[in-house]
A and B are shown apart, each in its own frame.
Chain A
Amino acid sequence: MLSALLVLLGFFAGVLGALTGIGGGVLLTPILALHFGIPIRQAIGTSLVAVITTSAASSSVHLQRHTTDIRLGMTLELATSLGAAVTAYLVGYFNRNVLEGLFAGFLLYSSLTILLRRGKVKDEEPPPAGNNGEMVIPPYEPQRYPLGLGASLVAGGLSGLLGIGGGPIKVPVMFIFMDVPLMVATATSNFMIGVHCRGQRYCLLPRRGDILVEIAAPLAVGVFVGSLLGARLAPRIQTRYVVYLLVAIMLYLAVHLAVHLLTGGAAS
């Protein structure tokens, strides 16, 4: 049964996402498009719902640990929401091939940032919870706001277009260029997900059709449970192999998207 399969798919994406800190959307969208024959635009809108559900849940955990910089997040949201507004308006002018090509590129870029971050800043990983949720954050002052805002504009634009969280862009920029601790950068990036006009427009026009509700519901349920479980497992699992698995899946999806693109998408 299709719903059961989708719950399962969401579950695995949720577990992988929580273990590796990447949103599920980057996996769900291409899988929906390539293996479920859903047009890329609907696949994007549909997986967006699952992404927002998960990011809201995990963001509430980060907030309670006080690792989220709400002021920084809100400031950068000015740029992400503007970027998302512009591309959400333009999305009608992008055809399927452009969206698939951009998505394949984003998959490649994301796997690269995962591998690089893995190599460089392993020791910055937050300590597993247990010390009463109290985390010691070194004092910092975000630097180079113009650069951060510019990157957020791009991240927001891609979010509006591709329905992804944009973490692989926002986290490195906050961490490397704005001198924000990695823990805070991750939590804040997560906090910022969700303000896509593309999604919000659906509230005004529920039947307009970029979000396939009968697909989104089982996915969101699966992703939600999966990411809660993944967050529990994270301190106990050797994430190195999980990361390699994730990168392998992402590369496979990128290649598959490219092939799909070049062969004219016979499948859909």
Chain B
Amino acid sequence: MSQVRDPAFDRVVALVLRVGAFGCFFIMLAGLLIGLFVHGQIPGDIERAGVLLMLATPVVRVAVAAVLFLREKDWKYSAISLGVLAILLLGAVFGIGEH
């Protein structure tokens, strides 16, 4: 079963990744260019937004895949996707304490 692929499924996930990657690229580029002319807080904040978008993209990808699996009534892989999402969120929350 694993090799059966739904083209529409691939396309939606690809779109999520593309929006994230290109969005991040253009935001960071904007930050760099603005940094050439403006000094201070602003360029860094723009770049930080780019970093945040990039780090959020894989999580959104997992969430979108979970929704798509649910819509296909593919319970096994819905559960797996939600499991990955849970590990990510728990790991992020419990990781805060250290450093």
Query: Which of B28, B58, B77, B93 is in CB contact (< 8 Å) with A71?
Result: B77
The contact string, 1 if C-beta is below 8 Å from chain B, for chain A 77-120, is 11001101100110110000000000000000000000000000
Which among A31-39, A55-63, A123-131, A254-262 touches the partner chain? A55-63
Q: Within 8 Å CB of B55, what residues of A?
A: 49, 52, 199-200, 202-203
**How many residues of B are counted as interface, with CB atoms below 8 angstroms from the partner's CB atoms?**
54
**How many residues of A are counted as interface, with CB atoms below 8 angstroms from the partner's CB atoms?**
59
Within 8 A of A (CB), among B36-90: 44, 47-48, 50-52, 54-59, 61-62, 65, 77, 80-81, 83-84, 87-88, 90
* Docked pose: A61 CA to B61 CA in angstroms: 15
Within 8 A of B (CB), among A191-220: 193-195, 197-206, 208, 211, 213-214, 216-218, 220
Task: Other than A56-B17, A198-B95, A221-B25, give 15 A-B pairs with Cβ distance below 8 A.
Answer: A49-B51, A53-B24, A69-B3, A69-B5, A70-B5, A74-B77, A81-B88, A81-B91, A142-B2, A200-B88, A203-B56, A203-B92, A213-B44, A217-B31, A217-B51
CB distance A81 to B57 under 8 Å? no
Chain B positions within 8 Å of A, measured between CB atoms, are 1-3, 5, 7, 9-11, 13-15, 17-18, 20-22, 24-25, 28-29, 31-32, 35, 44, 47-48, 50-52, 54-59, 61-62, 65, 77, 80-81, 83-84, 87-88, 90-96, 98-99
A89-B94, A197-B91 are contacts. A203–B52 as well, Cβ < 8 Å?
yes
Query: Which of B5, B11, B47 is in CB contact (< 8 Å) with A213?
Result: B47
Q: Within 8 Å CB of A77, what residues of B?
A: 62, 84
Within 8 A of B (CB), among A207-247: 208, 211, 213-214, 216-218, 220-221, 224
CB distance B21 to A56 under 8 Å? yes
- Can you report 30 A-B residue pairs in the complex whose CB atoms are below 8 A from each other? A3-B32, A7-B32, A56-B58, A61-B14, A63-B13, A64-B11, A64-B14, A70-B65, A71-B2, A75-B80, A77-B62, A78-B87, A85-B87, A88-B91, A141-B2, A194-B61, A195-B88, A197-B87, A197-B88, A199-B55, A200-B88, A201-B95, A203-B52, A213-B44, A214-B47, A216-B51, A218-B32, A220-B24, A220-B28, A220-B54
Least CB distance, A245 to chain B, in whole angstroms = 26
* Docked pose: A7 CA to B99 CA in angstroms: 30
CB distance A220 to B14 under 8 Å? no
Chain A positions within 8 Å of B, measured between CB atoms, are 3, 7, 49, 52-54, 56-57, 59-61, 63-64, 66, 68-72, 74-75, 77-78, 81-82, 84-85, 88-89, 91-92, 137, 139-142, 193-195, 197-206, 208, 211, 213-214, 216-218, 220-221, 224
Q: Within 8 Å CB of A59, what residues of B?
A: 14, 17
Q: Within 8 Å CB of B9, what residues of A?
A: 70
